Chain A
């Protein structure tokens, strides 16, 4: 791992307008927005796996799509190496696409049900003109299928997604993302639709295939998976990053109260470790026009006065461990 940043995210914001009812749109001028991603900055280094962990609705999926500009941000920049991809034109972006790929959560959804494995995996090659002929395409596809353990490739190439098991489907999705050797892959909950018993296979593959790509953004709601898979973990809550550190550090020495609650609540397959305690209160607030204060204020058991008045910044507290909390130190 080098320290050189592959992806630099600066002040990225994405607000989704909320459609109001007819009457309220007449009587109120105030515009409502979902603050899905709110002023987020971080780097992803060369050859690094960054985990993005948070509950559903915290904006992690939106952030992943923003990073490869599948959706347009409200403001902010994303630099890929030295190129600000938010300033690229449509066709320039098109030519950048093969360098950044995405693996989707649901392999039932992300594979076109009417295409064979050969066509599905070969599609990125064809679009980006990386193969000259059908036979070249078949060779490349066979090679990557070999990599994702769908052997013999000839047997799987002419199958349709519905003829594959969930694990095989996700392997096809991985093959499809990696077949053009991208520098950066956003993996959006790649294993959350699979049974726990078969997840390991996909995760191992993604680790093994690091030769084909450089960096991952690994989006997940499961801290336990992120803890083992990722080099660094960023904890996200209501559109903001709350804490970010090396994965060992963040598990052993969590600082933010939210991180602590998450770790406590993470299930353990051990009946002797039953705990009732949950050091968090209330429910996730609506991300619509959140007030300017610590986003976790309403649920924090240790909240102070300042937390309700000022939004904490993400600061480095040493050794690359960053946290956004007024309570530290």
Chain B
């Protein structure tokens, strides 16, 4: 059995706003096996990105960690103070590929210098050496190392995202969080990037957390999939189990609403999940999905959110009335 490189238990992150408390992440249990890639799926505004930021303690100033513990390689990293966390964990052990690569790269520095800088922040070495490492990293992500001397605006969208990946790998982290790594990229570039991520994961023995609203990206990249809804994980399982045998109606909705190009017949109707994700200032009572769920009963409306129940060794669901086996 493989060891868990990351274990998160009962993570709660609340944003304290003028209008009230937004419970962006509300009791999340999460783990990553070494060398595996775990997906986190859900619609926008369900707390995915907050979860990713919370792992790195990069929350905005009004975001508060209410509870929870994060064990990385068996060590309670949340117990470390900010300085230790910055020096020993962030970027060295866990790094992140941010959502908008244009915003994450500083437009006034050369790309290789930016990557070298993130190395120098964590390791003592001559600047020349760091730049050499940066060039090697660029090569690794299929960018001509000569391009390192250019500025971010001279890069195409795909190249910028690759540079972001190179930067995330700068300190040889064990775990990389990819927050919407391919959003806003064209399909061909997206495909190339996913191939790259898969290759890097194998070559460097990385563990990956992929956060995305795009279920197809997760299908391509992940071994396990967590489905998040309104700040909670509603279903977790091996990737095939989730796609072939989704138990939660939300998971099923996410998968079935994705149009595929290979369908033999043109569809006359598109599937959709009615309504919109709840406002996390005031989430619905009971199961948070019940206003949008086709199978909601009185129980779902009144009982507290259901706990995670085991379906199989690698498949859990939090639903009062799971969909059951179809085949």
The short answer to whether A and B are in direct contact, CB under 8 Å, is yes
Interface residues of A (CB under 8 A from B): 55-56, 165-168, 195-201, 203-204, 207, 221-225, 227-229, 247-248, 251, 261-274, 276, 278, 280, 283-284
Nearest chain A residue, comparing its CB with the CB of B216: A267
Determine whether the beta carbon of A197 is less than 8 Å from that of B187.
no
In the complex formed, the residue of A with least CB distance to B239 is A271
* B188 and A200 form a contact (CB under 8 A): no
| Cβ contacts under 8 Å, B272 to chain A | 197-201, 204
Chain B's closest residue to A261 (CB) is B188
Interface SS of A by simple majority: helix
Decide yes or no whether B43 CB sits under 8 A from chain A: yes
Shortest beta-carbon distance from A166 to chain B in Å: 7
Q: Is the CB of B266 within 8 A of A199?
A: no
Min CB distance A46 to B, Å, is 19
How far is A273 from B239 in the complex, measured between Cα atoms in Å?
12
Contact at B261–A224, with CB atoms within 8 Å? yes
Contact A270 B219 (CB under 8 A): yes
Contact B188–A196 (Cβ < 8 Å): no
- Among B187, B258, B276, the residue within 8 A (CB) of A196 is B258
Q: Quick check: is B303 within 8 A (CB to CB) of the other chain?
A: no
Instruction: Kindly provide the distance from the CB of A224 to the nearest chain B CB, expressed in whole angstroms.
Output: 4
What 8 new A-B contacts, CB under 8 Å, besides A221-B186, A267-B187, A267-B190? A200-B271, A228-B267, A248-B266, A266-B187, A269-B255, A269-B260, A271-B219, A271-B222
Given A200-B272, A284-B156, A225 and B259 contact (CB-CB distance below 8 Å): yes
Q: B-side interface residues toward A, CB under 8 Å?
A: 43-44, 156-159, 186-192, 195, 198, 213-217, 219-220, 222, 239-240, 243, 253-255, 257-263, 266-277
Contact B188 A251, beta carbon cutoff 8 Å? no
| B residues near A271, Cβ cutoff 8 Å | 219-220, 222, 239-240, 243
Chain B residues near A200: list those with CB within 8 A: 257, 269-272
Q: Give the contacting residue for B187; candidates A166, A229, A265; CB below 8 A.
A: A265
Q: List 24 A-B contacts (CB under 8 A).
A: A167-B276, A197-B272, A199-B257, A200-B269, A200-B271, A200-B272, A201-B270, A204-B269, A221-B186, A224-B260, A227-B259, A227-B263, A229-B270, A251-B261, A266-B187, A267-B187, A267-B191, A268-B219, A271-B219, A271-B222, A274-B220, A278-B188, A283-B159, A284-B186
User: CA of A248 to CA of B220 in the docked complex: distance in angstroms?
Assistant: 25
Q: Are B273 and A197 in contact (CB under 8 A)?
A: yes
Nearest B residue to A55 via CB reads B186
Residues of A with C-beta under 8 A to B214 = 196, 267
Listed residue (B188, B191, B260, B269) with the most chain A CB atoms within 10 angstroms of its CB: B188
A145 CA / B190 CA spacing, docked (Å): 37
Please state if B266 and A228 are interface contacts (CB–CB under 8 Å). Answer: yes
**Which of chain A's residues have a CB closer than 8 A to the CB of B159?**
283
- Known A-B contacts A197-B257, A251-B261, A265-B190; A272 and B240 likewise in contact (beta carbons under 8 Å): yes
Q: Are A223 and B213 in contact (CB under 8 A)?
A: no
Smallest beta-carbon distance A244→chain B, Å: 17
Q: Are B266 and A203 in contact (CB under 8 A)?
A: no
Q: Which residue of B lies closest to A248 (CB)?
A: B266
